[in-house]
Every structure is written in structure tokens, then in C-alpha cells.
């Protein structure tokens, strides 16, 4: 391994200390050369104490921070790790990953941190809790209402990850649990744990995460799950068999521990009946299937395992895939031109061989297989290489193995279909998958397959020539959308924007008077106390405004001239506003004012025109026109401060916050005619007070990347006297 011949003992990070496990541990091997690069052991760790440390030290520290503070930490962490990514790319190559494979894992993980950092500031309040949905009226008189709040669980998020994405798998779970306010214990798959440990070391070095919020286990999880409580949770990614074993644990069942599982599945890709050879969709399909067979050497939980093709196109598809796969160079990823490396280890090779043996009983080999490896810069005997294999099952409804057996490597089975009903039925035979994809130029085909297969899949990608250029691909789940699937795929989901964060929170219904509920949520709702003041609310700075502060405006009578003038200005000459005869026959029975005139007139009633703390209108939400306004009606507005959110200070920007105002426009009878929420940007008197957390964030963001070091070199540097051992 030239300069990398270092055998290291991976460390565990337990109770805010680096601890080397005792015993011999598990020897870890370089996937390309087969050489020993380290060992991992968790023997000697007190798993019960680790959980308690997370609950008593990490939990309170995280729950004391708001969503926005946690989000800023995530952003700073993403920046801190990104400038060090070449170090992680180097270690990633030991897993057999090409640079493109490493980009998916390393940059994908950092991108998820950035995504949740942004989402945390945009979609969550600057509070320690989340108010989910609006008020629910529970009584006729409005004195008893309900709302849902979400608060962090007061336990630990145990996160067990698969071997194929040591970085991304760890960070996608950490991003959501940390943002939710829940401390984490990470357990990476042992075979590639050295890569997870290298990133974990940098996370700890950043000093960004509060004490007790992050712990790492390299090696066996021992009796960790036996000590879980009702406040803890488990997020597992891996095989369905292992997931079932963990989910059946005594403590998990006894305490109803939240268990989210994302398991490997038999994902499909389908060629539409219209996508004949020569069409863009056919070419896109061939490219995607070949890519998903060879990226990460087929070791992706989202990789295509089953390929459905119209019966008359089977020969064309086999020929096109054969041509494309034969051009994929396999070998040492460090060699220029190599596009596919080995599996993660010899153990995975043996597992794939067993699965292929079962698949071959129901299929014929149409490309690749034993004896076809032509490696570049590597040895098949030393490394964990496996050849690409394309199988064909001509009786997919009678020979079930391709729907039951997953070879977690570069192996795919082609199966024919005659009708769209057959195609959808074949997709469902996977018994629950993470993802399916369809290549078709016909939207009616896309609709039929989507609705016919959605119940069995966590995600569906519908591709045509128009979306392909910007498509992220069949095998690329995104932070914005759920990642998971029903049945065999585990029945759980990860990420999905706000949903991924709320998974680590308890949703609780709060019932009471509007005033009491407003006091709990810090959000005003109708029926709560309204506070008047001689000073116009638009004359007040952000800090001076109080929740519930209300302005009742003067009145304005709507005239025919108002309606005609607004039509001329807006260009809206809709008959209900302008035509007496047509309006008489409409549901309004006579002419009505424009809804947007009502909004404009209401703004004229409550806006203070002089320069002041209000900087700009920031938007409008939840607009409903609940009753028509007729010519001659008199309207007035009620403006109430509903919610306040301070915005993050930025260089060169006026300190400001967003104020949500509840607006109700009523007529002369006191009946609401329009209800909505407006948002304004309002000046703050000064910058936010600098907390210890924000100081940590800024310090980390200013830090420079250190020289590239390996995990073992870092260990030796931080633990004098424990120098790495070199292999001769």
C-alpha cells in the first residue's frame, strides 16, 4: 500500500473520550489489495453508561438550543468537513470506491448536512419546539381549542449504518436527529468503519457539537439495544434479516422503542412500451441501468436489481447493455480509466456468490459471470472483485427467485412483460422496494405505472427526454424527499425534509383556552387576548412587539368607483365585478368587489406610511376570501401580531426579524370577508447577543484545513505513546 501501510486500532468515542477497544478485534482489509489496514473492537465499552451519558449530558445541552442554533452548527460542521474532504477521499479508496463513488458518499453526506442546515432555518422556528399545523376548534364558543406541538425525545438516537455508505449513511441520520435536538450514538458497519471513524474524528476535532451529543462505536454493538427506553430510538440501515433480529429485541418490544428500518430491496427499472430502440428514452434507460449496476460495484441499497422490458425489445436491450457494460473498466480505482472497483470485502464476495447461485436456478446468464474479470492494476485473488452479471428470466411469473433473492453487487435480471398490467404486477412482486424507475415519453403510461406500483415503493422516478438532463438519477435519494419503502424495504423512511426531523420528536396535542395555548406555543390564535396600544405596531422595532398586540383600523366604504378603478389598474374585468346583468345571474346575485382590491384596501387601512422599523412586505400565507364584498359595503381590518422569528445576522445587512400578522377583514355586520397571514421584515434594535454556541460556530468556520492525515496518523498525533504499527 506504499505510504498507507498502516495497521491501526480504530477508536470508539464514548462519553466524550476516545477509547480503544480491548481484545484482538476484527481485522479490516483494503478492498483492492487485501492487505490488513486496521482492526476494530468495542470490547470493554459500557454501553449502558454511553446511553445514560447521551440522555443526561447530551440531551439537555441540545434541547437548550433552538432549531436555528442547531442548524447553524450543522452548517459550520458541513463547512469544516468539506475543506477536509480530500483526506476522506483517500480513506474511501481503501473501500474500493472510485472517485465518483466517493463523491456520492462523501460529498453526498456533506450535502445532506448543508440541506438540513438550510431547512432548519427556513422551515423551523427559532424555538426549541415545533408547532405542527394550525389551531383546531374544539368548542362552539371558541374557548376550547387544540394544537399539536413537537418536542425532542429525551433519549438517544441509536443509528446503525450499512457498509456501503460509511459517510453519507452516518451524516444523513445525524443531520435529522441533531436538528431535532436528540443526541446520537453511531454504529457503522465494521467492514468499512475506518472511513466512518476518520470523519467522526474530524467531527470531534471541530468542537462544534455539545458534549454528549455524539458517540461512536467501531465494532460490535454488544448489549446496547438491551438498555433502550421508551424515549430512545433506533434507525437501522442494512439487511432485512438483521433488521428483523434487532427489531425483535426484548427492550425494543417492551418499551415500544421507535425503530426506523431502511433495508436492501429488489428495486426495479422499467422500459416503457413506447421507448423503442432509437428513442431518447431507450438510450437513457440503457445508460441508467448500466450505471446502477456498476456505481459502487452495485453495492447500493437503491441499485437496480430487476429490469422489466417489453417482450419484443428483450434482444435489443440485452445487446445494448452488453455493449455498454463491456466498456466499463474494472480494477484499482487509483488507476486512470477504471470505472468500477471491488466490493467492500471478501465477505461480500461470498455473499453475492451465494445469491447468484440461487438466481442461476431460475435464469440464464446473458453477459459476464465467472472467468470474465479483466482487471486493471489489481489481482482477483487479493482483492474483493466481482464481475458484472446480466441474467435473463423468460418466465418472471413462474420463476420467483429474481423477486426474492438480492445479490448485493453488480448483478441484474432482465424480465419481459406483455402489458402494463403485467409490468406493474412484476414490480409489486418485489414485496416492497426503496425505488423504481420508468423510462417513457408517454404521460399516460407514467400515470398508470405510478399509481399501479406506488403502494409498494418508497420513491418512483419517471424519466423522459425532458427531465433527464437535470434528473438526479434512479439511485440518488435526496434530503427533500423520503428515503425508505414498505415491506421488504423495511417499512420506514429517512429524511423527507421536515418529516425526517419530526421522526425524533414527540407530537403532542395541547388542549386549552386560546390564551393558555398561545402562552405554551408563543403563537397567537383567535380567541386569545388582544393587546392594544396607542403606538401603531408598524412604529415598533422587532423587540418591542408583543404577541397578541392588535390594531383595529378605521372603516372604509367600497364604492363603484373603487371597483371600476381597480379593474382599470389591474386589467381584471371579470364579469362579476363589471357586468350588472351577468352578476345578477351568478352565485353572487349582484356585482362584487375584486378580492385583491379588498386586500389592497385593507393594507391601506393598517399600513403606517411613514418610514419606520418595518422594512418590507415578506409574503402572504393562508389567504381565504370567505364572504363577498359588495358595492356599498363597509370594511375594516384587524391586525394582530401572531408570531416573531429573528433572522440570522449577516454582514452588511440590517438586523431584522420576520413578524407574522394575523389579518381579518370584516364587513359592516362584523362578518369576516377575508382572512390571511402577512409577513413583514422588521428592524431589530441591534445584533443578536453572541452565545457560546454561535462563537463556536464562527470559530470553526474560520478554521483552516489541516494537512491531510490518515485516521491512524491522527490517532498517533492525539494520543502520544500509541504510535501506529507499520506492516513490513
Output the nine-digit C-alpha cell for 5. 501501510
User: Do 288 and 338 fall into the same domain?
Assistant: yes
Q: Say which residue the cell 467522526 belongs to.
A: 200
Task: Return the pLDDT at 418.
Answer: 97
What pLDDT, on a 0 to 100 scale, did the predictor assign at position 723?
A: 30
Q: What is the pLDDT of residue 725?
A: 29
Report the chain's mean pLDDT, rounded to a whole number. Answer: 92
Q: pLDDT tens, 196-219?
A: 999 999 999 999 999 999 999 999
Of 263, 293, 323, the residue at which a domain comes to its end is 263
Q: Same structural domain for residues 68 and 189?
A: yes
Domain membership flag for residue 712: no
Closest by Cα among 224, 226, 169, 223 to 193: 169
In a domain, 526, yes or no: no
The DSSP call for residue 9 is: E
- Residue 177 pLDDT > 60: yes
Closest CA to 501 of 47, 125, 14, 108: 125
Shared domain check, 315 and 221: no
Whether 32 maps to a domain, the answer reads yes
Q: Mark whether 131 and 31 lie in a shared domain.
A: yes
- What confidence category does residue 698 fall into, taking pLDDT thresholds of 50, 70 and 90? low
CA nearest neighbour of 182 among 160, 152, 159: 152
How many CB atoms are closer than 10 A to CB 658? 17
Residue 545 has pLDDT above 60, yes or no: yes
* Residue 651 pLDDT class (50, 70, 90 cuts): confident
389 and 476 inside one domain: yes
Please tell me the predicted confidence (pLDDT) of residue 697: 54
CATH code of the domain covering residue 561: 3.10.129.10
N-term to C-term CA, the chain: 10
Q: How far apart are CA 302 and CA 85, in angstroms?
A: 24
Helix boundaries (H) for 278-364: 280-294, 314-326, 346-360
pLDDT score recorded for residue 687: 59
Q: Is residue 517 part of a domain?
A: no
420 and 393 within one domain: yes
User: Which of 223, 248, 263 lies at the terminal end of a domain, its last residue?
Assistant: 263
DSSP string, 262-295: EE---EEEEE-TT--TTSHHHHHHHHHHHHHHHG
Q: Which tens digits make up the pLDDT trace of 289-325?
A: 999 999 999 999 999 999 999 999 999 999 999 999 9
Select from 434, 461, 489 the last residue of a domain. Answer: 489
Active site residue 301: yes
Residue 521 lies in a domain: no
Mark whether 253 and 276 lie in a shared domain: no
The answer to whether residues 31 and 170 belong to one domain is yes
Least confident of 301-310, 485-494, 633-642, 704-713: 704-713
Provide the pLDDT for residue 648. 81
In terms of Cβ atoms closer than 10 Å to its own Cβ (0-12, 13-18, 19+), residue 185 is buried
- Is the same domain home to 36 and 109? yes
Distance CA 302, CA 459 (A): 10
List the domain range (segments joined by +) for residue 9: 2-263
Nearest one of 727, 711, 41 to 719, comparing CA atoms: 711
What pLDDT, on the 0 to 100 scale, is given for residue 24? 86
pTM of the predicted structure, to 2 decimals: 0.90
Task: Tell me, yes or no, if 230 is annotated catalytic.
Answer: no
Cell of 401: 427467485
Mean pLDDT value of segment 635-655: 91
User: How far apart are alpha carbons 689 and 519 in whole angstroms?
Assistant: 24
pLDDT for 404-460, tens place per residue? Answer: 999 999 999 999 999 999 999 999 999 999 999 999 999 999 999 999 999 999 999
Work out the angle at residue 103's Cα, subtended by the Cα atoms of residues 488 and 487, and round it to the nearest 5 degrees: 5
Check whether 633 has a pLDDT greater than 80. Answer: yes
> Quick check: is 510 in a domain?
no
Residues 477 and 539 in one domain: no
| CATH number for 355 | 3.40.309.10
DSSP code for 57:
I
Q: What is the DSSP letter of 482?
A: E
Rounded Cα gap, residues 376 and 237, in angstroms: 32
- Residues 554 and 471: their CA atoms lie apart, in Å, by 53
pLDDT confidence band for 496 (50 / 70 / 90): confident
d(CA 562, CA 594): 10
- 303 and 200 in a single domain? The answer is no
* Catalytic option among 262, 292, 406, 549: 262
pLDDT in tens, 254-285: 999 999 999 989 999 999 999 999 999 999 99
Residue 703 belongs to a domain: no
Under a CB-based contact definition with an 8 Å cutoff, are residues 352 and 409 in contact? yes
Residue percentage of the chain with pLDDT more than 90: 88
Using CA atoms, how far residue 160 sits from 102, 155, 185, 260, 470, in Å, is 20, 16, 9, 10, 32
Residue 652, pLDDT score: 82
Q: pLDDT tier at 696 (50, 70, 90 boundaries)?
A: low
Q: What is the pLDDT of residue 596?
A: 97
Cα distances (angstroms) measured from residue 286 to each of 327, 366, 396, 586, 622: 13, 15, 20, 56, 45
Same domain, 315 and 378: yes
**Which one of the listed residues 292, 301, 549, 641 is annotated catalytic?**
301
Q: Quick check: is 254 in a domain?
A: yes
Q: Tell me how many domains the chain contains.
A: 3
pLDDT category of residue 691 using cuts at 50, 70 and 90: very low
- Give the torsion sign (CA, 535, 538, 541, 542): positive
The total number of residues shown for the chain amounts to: 728
| pLDDT at site 704 | 46
Predicted local confidence at residue 1, as pLDDT? 40
666: which residues sit within 8 A by CB, 6+ positions away?
635, 636, 637, 638, 672, 673
Query: What is the predicted pLDDT for the residue at 716?
Result: 41
Selection from 464, 460, 412 nearest residue 436 by Cα: 460
Q: What is the DSSP string of 613-677?
A: SEEEEEEEEEEEE-S--BTT-EEEEEEEEEEEEEPPP-TTS--EEEEEEEEEEE-TTS-EEEEEE
pLDDT above 70 for 333: yes
Residue 684 gets which letter from DSSP? -
Query: Which CATH number covers residue 127?
Result: 3.40.605.10
Q: In this predicted structure, what is the pLDDT of residue 726?
A: 27
Amino acid at each position: 500500500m506504499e505510504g498507507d501501510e498502516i495497521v491501526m486500532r480504530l477508536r470508539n468515542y464514548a462519553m466524550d473520550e476516545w477509547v480503544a477497544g480491548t481484545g484482538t478485534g476484527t481485522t479490516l482489509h483494503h478492498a483492492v489489495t487485501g492487505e490488513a489496514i486496521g482492526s476494530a473492537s468495542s470490547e470493554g465499552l459500557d454501553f449502558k453508561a454511553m446511553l445514560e451519558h447521551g440522555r443526561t449530558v447530551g440531551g439537555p445541552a441540545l434541547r437548550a438550543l433552538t432549531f436555528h442554533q442547531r442548524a447553524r452548527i450543522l452548517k459550520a460542521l458541513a463547512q469544516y468537513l468539506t475543506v477536509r474532504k480530500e483526506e476522506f477521499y483517500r480513506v474511501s479508496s481503501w473501500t474500493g470506491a472510485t472517485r465518483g463513488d466517493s463523491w456520492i458518499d462523501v460529498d453526498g453526506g456533506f450535502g445532506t448536512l448543508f440541506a438540513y442546515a438550510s431547512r432548519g432555518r427556513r422551515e423551523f422556528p427559532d424555538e426549541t419546539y415545533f408547532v405542527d399545523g394550525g389551531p383546531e376548534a374544539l368548542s362552539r364558543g371558541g374557548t376550547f381549542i387544540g394544537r399539536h406541538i413537537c418536542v425532542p425525545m429525551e433519549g438517544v438516537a441509536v443509528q446503525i449504518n450499512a457498509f456501503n455508505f460509511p459517510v453519507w449513511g452516518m451524516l444523513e441520520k445525524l443531520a435529522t436527529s441533531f436538528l431535532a435536538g436528540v443526541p446520537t450514538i453511531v454504529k457503522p458497519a465494521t467492514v468499512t468503519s475506518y472511513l466512518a471513524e476518520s470523519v467522526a474524528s474530524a467531527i470531534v476535532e471541530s468542537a462544534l457539537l455539545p458534549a454528549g451529543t455524539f458517540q461512536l462505536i467501531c465494532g460490535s454493538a454488544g448489549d446496547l439495544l438491551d438498555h433502550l427506553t421508551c424515549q430512545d430510538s433506533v434507525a437501522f440501515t442494512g439487511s432485512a434479516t438483521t433488521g428483523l433480529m434487532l427489531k425483535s429485541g426484548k427492550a425494543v418490544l417492551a418499551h415500544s422503542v421507535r425503530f426506523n428500518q431502511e433495508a436492501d430491496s429488489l428495486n426495479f427499472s422499467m422500459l416503457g412500451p413506447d421507448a423503442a430502440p432509437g428513442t431518447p428514452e431507450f438510450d437513457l434507460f440503457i445508460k441508467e441501468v448500466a450505471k446502477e449496476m456498476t456505481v459502487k460495484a452495485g453495492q447500493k441499497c437503491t441499485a437496480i436489481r430487476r429490469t422489466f422490458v417489453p417482450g419484443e425489445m428483450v434482444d435489443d436491450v440485452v445487446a445494448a447493455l452488453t455493449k455498454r457494460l463491456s466498456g466499463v473498466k474494472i480494477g484499482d480505482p487509483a488507476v486512470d480509466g477504471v470505472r468500477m472497483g471491488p466490493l467492500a470485502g471478501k465477505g461480500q464476495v461470498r455473499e453475492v456468490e451465494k445469491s447468484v447461485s440461487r438466481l442461476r436456478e431460475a435464469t440464464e446468464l446473458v453477459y459476464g459471470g465467472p472467468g470474465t474479470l479483466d482487471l486493471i492494476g489489481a489481482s482477483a485473488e487479493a482483492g474483493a472483485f466481482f464481475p458484472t452479471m446480466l441474467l435473463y428470466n423468460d418466465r418472471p411469473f413462474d420463476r420467483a427467485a429474481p423477486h426474492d433473492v438480492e445479490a448485493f453487487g453488480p448483478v441484474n435480471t432482465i424480465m419481459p412483460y406483455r402489458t402494463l398490467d403485467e409490468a406493474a404486477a412484476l414490480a409489486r412482486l418485489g414485496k416492497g422496494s426503496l425505488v423504481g424507475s420508468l423510462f417513457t415519453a408517454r404521460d399516460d403510461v407514467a400515470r398508470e405505472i405510478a399509481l399501479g406500483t406506488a403502494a409498494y415503493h418508497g420513491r418512483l422516478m419517471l424519466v423522459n427526454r425532458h427531465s433527464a438532463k437535470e434528473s438526479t438519477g434512479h439511485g440518488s435519494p435526496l434530503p427533500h424527499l423520503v428515503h425508505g419503502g414498505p415491506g421488504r424495504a423495511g417499512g420506514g423512511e429517512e429524511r423527507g425534509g421536515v418529516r425526517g426531523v419530526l421522526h425524533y420528536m414527540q407530537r403532542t396535542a395541547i388542549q386549552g383556552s386560546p390564551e393558555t395555548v398561545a402562552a405554551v406555543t408563543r403563537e397567537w390564535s383567535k380567541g386569545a387576548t388582544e393587546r392594544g396600544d396607542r403606538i401603531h405596531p408598524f412604529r415598533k422595532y422587532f423587540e418591542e412587539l408583543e404577541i397578541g398586540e392588535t390594531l383595529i383600523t378605521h372603516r372604509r366604504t367600497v364604492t363603484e368607483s373603487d371597483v371600476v378603478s381597480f379593474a382599470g389598474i389591474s386589467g381584471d374585468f371579470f364579469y362579476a365585478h363589471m357586468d350588472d346583468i351577468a352578476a345578477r345571474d351568478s352565485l353572487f346575485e349582484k356585482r362584487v368587489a375584486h378580492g385583491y382590491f379588498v386586500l389592497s384596501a385593507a393594507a391601506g387601512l393598517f399600513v403606517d406610511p411613514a418610514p419606520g422599523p418595518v422594512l418590507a412586505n415578506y409574503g402572504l400565507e393562508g389567504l381565504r376570501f370567505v364572504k363577498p364584498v359588495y358595492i356599498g359595503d363597509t370594511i375594516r381590518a384587524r391586525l394582530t401580531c401572531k408570531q416573531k422569528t429573528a433572522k440570522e445576522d449577516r454582514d452588511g445587512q440590517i438586523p431584522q426579524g420576520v413578524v407574522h400578522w394575523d389579518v381579518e377583514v370584516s364587513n359592516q355586520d362584523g362578518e369576516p370577508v377575508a382572512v390571511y397571514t402577512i409577513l413583514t421584515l422588521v428592524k431589530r434594535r441591534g445584533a443578536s447577543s453572541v452565545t457560546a454556541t454561535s462563537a463556536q460556530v464562527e470559530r470553526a468556520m474560520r478554521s483552516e484545513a489541516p494537512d491531510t492525515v490518515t485516521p491512524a496518523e491522527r490517532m498517533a498525533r492525539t494520543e502520544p505513546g500509541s504510535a501506529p504499527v507499520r506492516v513490513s
